[in-house]
């Protein structure tokens, strides 16, 4: 019965629009029916696409919708959705491009546009023709929809790079970034193709990249750690401390129940120590690590140094004494060598106890004589015990690659009044990432050798570059991802009647402090699924009534929202409501954003902690009158 009705409708639409397609002179007699146009659009998108014939029928319905309402953006959206879904093989390129021109504005769904444009590109035979088509489209798109135009410019950049036109490629990627600063593909490729003029410029670019990546996805731990580490080595210690604090909160969210990662804690406490306004936070960070059952010798040493610097010398002694007792008790078993190495390091750079340093370092070296770290610590222990010649013998072979060995050898050179050699070694140590206690000793030794530490980087210049890009707040406070947005599924009311379409709209509000970017690299990719549970006179569950992806044409600024129309008047739900007019039903809609299957086989939202997005609407039965 359904098949016969479908054939009838197809024949009917052919009778209506066939003469228009065949006879251009009749097109001046404009047909106009918005409701019929919307119906044809839905029918075209509901046709199962199991053959090329059905794809052609789908396109007939969709084109008819455009003819019946040439002014409605919704009709063009339905057409473009159908094009992307059907993957048409016949050449509808002119119609698709015309529809895109009418559809593309600041409210367009970029996923719809991208799929339609891909269909056009697949009809083109050569790469050069595809490039020409995109080049012709770029100008108009830059005016109507800069974010989509940014994607097109980035694709043109990739085409140019394929031809080894690297200057042209860099220019396209730069243009793409000016159209959309959150285009990470363009940013990454532009950085690959351009050479920073100075060291400051290189660091600024790296910080901008990581900060943009964090804006696009606030759950990107790699981005925030990259920013934190780069900011620290650039001397931007407050930004580094803020970024490591963000990373600590994010890691706790991503890995619930796990202890704070030592790399995060170490970077955090070192940044706070180097920031004059954050030194008092060092004690709390060290305690957080201790509370997780870990005693890290470097973290304990930094906490002790911070206590001393903030005028609490008794606290320094207490920290060092407790850490020494704990480290000594941890030895034994399969990890005895690791604990002995940590304890030896602590007595070298924490308590600076010559006797215990030598004893523990010798213990490690006896067990692992070929371990470079054991040999370099042994050299430093000899230095603490005034055995300079032995220190040189042990350190010299390792000094090129081991910072402890280089520091040891430099201090020995200073004692021997070979200060030029010492300065060269110490500058090498300070040019590499090293732990804070070693860095402080290297700087002190450099000053003793009659030189000063001068970084090639200028924090002020880098800071200005980032503030010009992001404003005053460079590192936002960490907010758990579920609190960064609110999602609601609205129907404009709780009741509707037979024959009335359901007007479903998803509203996303940005409740965070950064722009909310929805796309494949974002915290929210835009994928969704709608499940339906019908109760009342009819009981029916319809899983995956609607599945798709949306991508808004703009970043959602803090406090703003975006609305996405979801056409739930489709599939089994549409047929059931139409064929059962006298049924009174409650329809429970559940929407999943970035749906994932959990361990127990149920569905959940991709952002962990997001509550269910549900709405119930009621359809009253139709009263049948004679």
Q: Estimate the share of the chain in helix, then strand, then coil, as percent rounded to the nearest 5.
A: 60, 10, 30
Q: In the 8-state DSSP scheme, what is residue 234?
A: T
Q: Is the pLDDT of residue 285 over 90?
A: yes
Task: Name the nearest CA neighbour of 524 among 492, 562, 475.
Answer: 562
Q: Tell me the per-residue pLDDT of 339-384, one tens digit each, with 9 for 90 and over.
A: 889 999 999 999 999 999 999 999 989 888 889 999 999 999 999 9
Quick one: pLDDT at residue 305? 96
Contact (CB, 8 A) for 589 and 616: yes
Average of per-residue pLDDT across 209-225: 97
In this chain, the answer to whether the domains covering 336-454 and 481-619 adopt an identical fold is: no
Q: Is the pLDDT of residue 334 over 50?
A: no
| Residue 111 main-chain phi, psi, to 5 deg | -70, -40
Q: Which of the four pLDDT bands, split at 50, 70 and 90, describes residue 125?
A: confident
Q: Which token pair is 309? A: 């610097």
Q: What is the distance between the alpha carbons of residues 344 and 537, in angstroms, rounded to a whole number?
A: 77
Domain 481-619 in CATH 3.90.550: no
Task: Name the nearest CA neighbour of 326 among 314, 347, 343.
Answer: 343
Contact (CB, 8 A) for 358 and 384: yes
The dihedral built from the CA positions of residue 2, 3, 6 and 11, taken in this order, carries a sign that is: negative
Q: Is the pLDDT of residue 181 over 80?
A: yes
* Bridge partner residues of 589 (DSSP): 532, 615
Note the residue count of the chain: 626
Q: In the 8-state DSSP scheme, what is residue 24?
A: G
Q: What is the distance between the alpha carbons of residues 470 and 97, in angstroms, rounded to a whole number?
A: 36
Quick one: pLDDT at residue 6? 47
Q: Tell me the per-residue pLDDT of 151-171, one tens digit each, with 9 for 90 and over.
A: 999 999 999 999 999 999 999
Average of per-residue pLDDT across 582-606: 93
Q: What are the boundaries of each domain within the chain?
A: 207-330+455-478, 336-454, 481-619
pTM of the model: 0.88
* Cα 183–Cα 186–Cα 189 angle in degrees, nearest 5: 145
Q: How many Å from the N-terminal Cα to the C-terminal Cα in the chain?
A: 26
Contact (CB, 8 A) for 520 and 182: no
* Domain 336-454 CATH class label: mainly alpha
Neighbours of 19 (CB within 10 A): 13
Upper half-sphere CA count for residue 109 (Cβ side, 13 Å): 22
Task: Name the nearest CA neighbour of 529 among 481, 578, 574, 489.
Answer: 489
The dihedral built from the CA positions of residue 316, 322, 325 and 327, taken in this order, carries a sign that is: negative
Task: Name the nearest CA neighbour of 299 among 311, 282, 313, 316.
Answer: 282
Which three-class secondary structure state does DSSP give residue 534?
A: strand
* Cα 107–Cα 113–Cα 119 angle in degrees, nearest 5: 170
Record: fold of 207-330+455-478: 1.25.40
Upper half-sphere CA count for residue 312 (Cβ side, 13 Å): 15
Per-residue b or e along 490-529, where b marks 16 or more CB atoms closer than 10 Å to that residue's CB: ebeeeebebeeebebebebbbebebbbbbbeebbbbbbbb
Contact (CB, 8 A) for 478 and 246: yes
Average of per-residue pLDDT across 64-75: 79
Q: What is the distance between the alpha carbons of residues 115 and 83, in angstroms, rounded to a whole number?
A: 8
Q: Is the pLDDT of residue 11 over 60?
A: no
Task: Name the nearest CA neighbour of 353 among 286, 294, 297.
Answer: 297
């Amino acid at each position: 019965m359904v098949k016969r009705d479908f054939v009838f409708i197809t024949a009917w639409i052919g009778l209506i629009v066939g003469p228009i397609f065949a006879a251009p002179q009749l097109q001046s007699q404009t047909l106009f029916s918005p409701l019929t146009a919307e119906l044809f659009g839905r029918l075209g998108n509901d046709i199962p696409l199991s053959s090329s014939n059905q794809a052609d029928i789908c396109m007939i319905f969709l084109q008819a919708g455009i003819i019946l309402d040439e002014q409605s953006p919704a009709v063009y959206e339905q057409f473009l959705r159908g094009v992307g879904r059907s993957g048409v093989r016949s050449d509808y390129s002119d119609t698709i491009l015309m529809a895109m021109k009418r559809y593309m504005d600041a409210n367009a769904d970029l996923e719809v546009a991208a799929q339609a444009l891909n269909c056009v590109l697949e009809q083109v035979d050569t790469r050069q023709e595809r490039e020409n088509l995109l080049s012709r489209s770029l100008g108009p798109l830059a005016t109507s929809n800069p974010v989509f135009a940014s994607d097109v410019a980035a694709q043109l950049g990739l085409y140019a790079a394929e031809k080894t036109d690297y200057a042209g490629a860099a220019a396209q990627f730069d243009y793409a970034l000016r159209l959309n600063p959150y285009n990470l593909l363009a940013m990454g490729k532009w950085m690959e193709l351009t050479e920073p003029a100075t060291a400051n410029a290189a660091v600024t670019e790296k910080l901008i990249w990581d900060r943009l990546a964090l804006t696009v996805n606030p759950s990107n731990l790699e981005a925030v750690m990259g920013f934190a580490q780069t900011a620290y080595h650039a001397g931007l210690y407050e930004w580094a401390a803020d970024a490591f604090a963000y990373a600590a909160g994010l890691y706790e969210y991503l890995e619930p129940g796990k202890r704070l990662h030592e790399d995060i804690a170490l970077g955090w406490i070192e940044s706070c120590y180097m920031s004059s306004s954050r030194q008092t936070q060092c004690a709390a960070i060290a305690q957080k690590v201790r509370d997780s059952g870990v005693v890290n010798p470097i973290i304990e040493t930094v906490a002790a140094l911070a206590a001393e610097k903030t005028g609490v010398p008794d606290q320094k002694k207490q920290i060092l004494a407790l850490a020494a007792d704990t480290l000594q008790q941890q030895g034994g078993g399969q990890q005895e060598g690791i604990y002995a190495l940590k304890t030896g390091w602590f007595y070298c750079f924490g308590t600076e106890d010559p006797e215990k340093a030598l004893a523990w370092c010798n213990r490690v070296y006896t067990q692992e004589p070929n371990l470079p770290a054991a040999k370099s610590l042994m050299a430093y222990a000899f230095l603490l015990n005034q055995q300079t010649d032995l220190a040189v013998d042990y350190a010299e072979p390792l000094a090129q690659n081991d910072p402890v060995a280089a520091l040891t050898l430099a201090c020995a050179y200073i004692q021997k009044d070979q200060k030029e050699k010492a300065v060269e070694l110490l500058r090498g140590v300070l040019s590499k990432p090293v732990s804070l206690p070693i860095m402080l000793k290297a700087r002190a030794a450099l000053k003793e050798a009659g030189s000063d530490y001068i970084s090639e980087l200028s924090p002020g210049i880098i800071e200005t570059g980032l503030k010009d890009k992001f404003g005053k707040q460079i590192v936002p406070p960490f907010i758990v991802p579920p609190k960064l947005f609110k999602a609601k599924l609205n129907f404009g009311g709780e009741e509707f009647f037979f024959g009335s379409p359901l007007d479903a709209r998803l509203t996303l509000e940005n409740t965070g402090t950064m722009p909310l970017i929805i796309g494949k690299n974002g915290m929210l990719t835009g994928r969704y699924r709608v499940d339906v549970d019908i109760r009342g006179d009819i009981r029916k569950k319809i899983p995956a009534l609607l599945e798709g992806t949306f991508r808004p044409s703009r970043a959602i600024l803090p406090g703003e929202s975006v609305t996405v129309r979801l056409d739930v008047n489709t599939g089994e739900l549409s047929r059931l409501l139409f064929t059962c007019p006298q049924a009174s039903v409650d329809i429970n809609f559940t929407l999943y954003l970035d749906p994932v299957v959990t361990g127990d086989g149920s569905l959940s939202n991709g952002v962990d902690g997001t509550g269910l997005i549900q709405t119930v609407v009621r359809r009253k039965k139709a009263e049948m009158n004679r």
